[in-house]
Amino acid sequence: MDYKDLGFAKLDTSREKRTGFPEVVFCQGKPDEYIVSIYEELLSENGSVFGTRADEHQYNLIKDKIPDAEYDPVSNILKVSRKEPERKGLIAVCCAGTADIPVAEEAAQTAEYFGANVDRIFDIGVSGMHRIMANEERIKKANCVVAVAGMEGALASVLGGMVENPVIAVPTSVGYGASFGGLSALLTMINSCANGIAVVNIDNGYGAGYMATQINRLAVKNG
C-alpha cells in the first residue's frame, strides 16, 4: 500500500518517490489528537516533518511527544528536522514591507527545508525604488525569485521587468479596506504586463516556496 491509513488521515508515504517532495502537514484546524499522530507517523516514515499554519498550542502538543520539534511564530511553521538537506542553487525571497515577512518566511523556510539556498531580501517595496535597485545584483543571481507583496502588489511587476529567471508572485492580505484582504494585490499580479510571472494564492508562501524549489532544482540539474 502506498499510503498509511490512520482512519482520520491517509498519509501519502510514497509522495517523495513520486514527486521528490514528502508530504507536508497543513496544521490549521486539525484536532489535537490527529495532529500528534500525524507528526509521529510522518517522522517515523521520513525522518523529518514539516508543517504550515501551526499555532503555539499545537507546538506544545507536538513538543511533549517529540522534544526536538521546532516552531517559528513568525511563519507559523512547525517542523522536526533530523536530517539536514544538502542545499543547492539559490532562490531570492523578496517582500515589499515588513508586514509581509510572515508569508515571505513561510516561502523561505519551505525552500530551505526542501534543499535550496535562500537569500532573504525584505522591505524593498516600490514606495522606495532605491531599495530595490540597491539589491539588484543579489536578486539577479537567483535561479528563481519569490515576490511577496500586499497593498497593490506592484513588487512582482517591477522584479519581473528586471530579471531573466522566473518570478513567483505571492499576494498577501496586508492592506487597508480596498485591498479586500489581498484580492487587490492578486489582481495586480495576475494582470502584470511583465513577462515570466506566475501567481499563487493569497498568503500562500508555502506554495511559492515549493514551486521555487522545483525551478531551482531544474536550474541546478541543467546548470
pLDDT digits (tens, 9 = 90+) for 50-73: 999 999 999 999 999 999 999 999
pLDDT tier for residue 13 given thresholds of 50, 70 and 90: confident
94 pLDDT exceeds 80?
yes
Is the domain of 159 the same as that of 216?
Answer: yes
Is the domain of 151 the same as that of 207?
Answer: yes
Report how far residue 178's alpha carbon sits from residue 201's, in angstroms, rounded to the nearest whole number: 18
pLDDT value of residue 174: 95
Is the domain of 46 the same as that of 117?
Answer: no
- Domain limits for position 183: 88-222
Report how far residue 118's alpha carbon sits from residue 110's, in angstroms, rounded to the nearest whole number: 10
82 pLDDT exceeds 80?
no
pLDDT tier for residue 139 given thresholds of 50, 70 and 90: very high
- We report the CATH number of the domain holding residue 70 as 3.30.110
Tens of pLDDT, residue by residue over 173-206, are: 999 999 999 999 999 999 999 999 999 999 999 9
* Strand 4-5 versus strand 10-11 pairing type: antiparallel
Is the domain of 25 the same as that of 123?
Answer: no
Query: Considering only CA atoms, which of 94, 84, 14 is closest in space to residue 50?
Result: 84
Is the domain of 77 the same as that of 95?
Answer: no
Choose one of 48, 81, 114: the last residue of a domain: 81
Share above pLDDT 90 across residues of the chain, in percent, rounded to a whole number: 82
Describe the strand order of the beta sheet including 48-52 as a list of residue ranges.
Answer: 25-26, 48-52, 77-81, 70-72
Choose one of 56, 81, 106: the last residue of a domain: 81
Is the domain of 50 the same as that of 114?
Answer: no
Tens of pLDDT, residue by residue over 110-126, are: 999 999 999 999 999 98
Beta-strand (E) ranges in 141-213? 144-149, 167-171, 197-199
223 pLDDT exceeds 80?
no
Helix axes 32-46, 56-65, angle to 10 degrees: 50
Report how far residue 74's alpha carbon sits from residue 102's, in angstroms, rounded to the nearest whole number: 5
Choose one of 63, 81, 99: the last residue of a domain: 81
Contact 112, 213 (CB under 8 A): no
158: its cell numbers? 517591477
Is the domain of 127 the same as that of 75?
Answer: no
Across the chain, mean pLDDT equals: 94
Tens of pLDDT, residue by residue over 158-178, are: 999 999 999 999 999 999 999
Is the domain of 68 the same as that of 168?
Answer: no
- Amino acid found at 108: A
Report how far residue 216's alpha carbon sits from residue 115's, in angstroms, rounded to the nearest whole number: 10
Residue 73's CB: how many other CB atoms inside 10 A?
Answer: 11
- We report the CATH number of the domain holding residue 135 as 3.40.50.1970
Is the domain of 111 the same as that of 211?
Answer: yes
Contact 153, 184 (CB under 8 A): yes
Is the domain of 93 the same as that of 57?
Answer: no
Tell me how far CA of residue 119 lies from CA of 20, 86, 122, 141, in angstroms.
23, 16, 10, 10
Residue 173, class by beta-carbon neighbours within 10 Å (0-12 exposed, 13-18 middle, 19+ buried)? middle
16 pLDDT exceeds 90?
no
pLDDT value of residue 28: 95
Beta-strand (E) ranges in 6-52? 10-11, 25-26, 48-52
pLDDT tier for residue 46 given thresholds of 50, 70 and 90: confident
Is the domain of 147 the same as that of 203?
Answer: yes
92 pLDDT exceeds 70?
yes
How many domains are there within the chain?
2
Is the domain of 143 the same as that of 209?
Answer: yes
pLDDT tier for residue 1 given thresholds of 50, 70 and 90: low
